[in-house]
Amino acid sequence: MGRVSDAKPRLLEAAIDLVWSRSYGAVTVDDICEAAGVKKGSFYYFFKSKDELVAAALDAKWEQIRPRYDGFFSASRPPLDRLRDAFAYAYEHQKELRDKHGCVLGCPFSSIGTEIIGAHKTLRDTVQRMIKSKIRYYESALRDLQAEGALPPKSDASLLARQAYSYFEGVLAQARIADDLEMLKGVYDGVVKLLGIKEPVAA
């Protein structure tokens, strides 16, 4: 068994890896404990249920991801660069994951979110909170595009952000289904066309 001091992070890491690469329903508490090298008694010392563990694992995953989003979507950067670089990173990150797991994994939040049902309120609330956080990054870039005149000033930036995010997640889900990373290469162009963003003309 892992030392008490590192048992919890081991469980969190094992949970996100297993549930993301397999599915929420296919992974048991025993599977997670085995992968983490932690006895079941220690699991219940930290968590009341698999739901609670996976929700905590998703929170931990978001804390790892968020600094990258803060960097990509910094207000000091041109808004189109923010979107372009965020989508480019998604491709590179999925490539790394495929090399590790042997397949395209897609987004952990959406993958788990589409699988859980109404009874999993803790998980559902966690996933929704993280999705809203991600959409806010898109919205900040789109509002700045409005200020630059690249989007109509009266368009609903919040709605456009949800549409852009939904488009990206849809392509990511299709890439996971087809195990085809190449689908992700056209996301930036697709979002630009979908939202009617006017890109600056090169000098």
Question: For all residues of the chain together, what is the average pLDDT?
Answer: 92
Give me the CATH number covering residue 37: 1.10.10.60
Say yes or no to pLDDT of 200 above 90: no
Say yes or no to pLDDT of 1 above 60: no
Q: Are residues 27 and 59 in the same domain?
A: no
pLDDT for res 46: 95
169-182: average pLDDT: 95
3-state secondary structure at position 28: coil
Q: Are residues 61 and 121 in the same domain?
A: yes
Examine residue 191 and state whether it is found in any structural domain, yes or no: yes
| 62 vs 108: CA distance, rounded Å | 10
| 103 vs 95: CA distance, rounded Å | 9
Examine residue 126 and state whether it is found in any structural domain, yes or no: yes
The tens digit of pLDDT for each residue in 123-166 reads: 889 999 999 999 999 999 999 999 999 999 889 999 999 999 99
Final residue belonging to a domain, choices 47, 67, 84 = 47
96-119: average pLDDT: 87
Are the beta carbons of 157 and 88 closer than 8 angstroms?
A: no
pLDDT above 70 as % of the chain: 96
Q: Are residues 43 and 55 in the same domain?
A: no
Q: Are residues 37 and 89 in the same domain?
A: no
Q: How many domains does the chain have?
A: 2
14-29: average pLDDT: 93
pLDDT for res 4: 53
Are the beta carbons of 113 and 122 closer than 8 angstroms?
A: no
Are the beta carbons of 157 and 143 closer than 8 angstroms?
A: yes
Q: Are residues 64 and 3 in the same domain?
A: no
Greatest alpha-carbon pair distance for the chain in Å reads: 65
Q: What phi and psi values does residue 70 have, to the nearest 5 degrees?
A: -60, -40
Examine residue 203 and state whether it is found in any structural domain, yes or no: no
Q: Environment class of residue 26 by beta-carbon count within 10 Å: exposed (0-12), middle (13-18) or buried (19+)?
A: exposed
Q: Are residues 109 and 175 in the same domain?
A: yes
Q: Are residues 80 and 43 in the same domain?
A: no
Q: Are residues 42 and 63 in the same domain?
A: no
9-18: average pLDDT: 95
| 171 vs 61: CA distance, rounded Å | 21
Six token digits for residue 105: 């994994």
Examine residue 201 and state whether it is found in any structural domain, yes or no: no
Nearest to 113 by CA among 9, 23, 22: 23
Say yes or no to pLDDT of 2 above 50: no
Examine residue 28 and state whether it is found in any structural domain, yes or no: yes
Ranges of beta strands (E only) in 73-174 are none
Q: Are residues 33 and 63 in the same domain?
A: no
The tens digit of pLDDT for each residue in 113-131 reads: 888 876 688 888 999 999 9
55-81: average pLDDT: 95
Domain holding 125, by residue range, is 50-195
Q: Are residues 85 and 56 in the same domain?
A: yes
Examine residue 133 and state whether it is found in any structural domain, yes or no: yes
Q: How does DSSP classify residue 201?
A: P
pLDDT for res 201: 53
pLDDT for res 67: 96
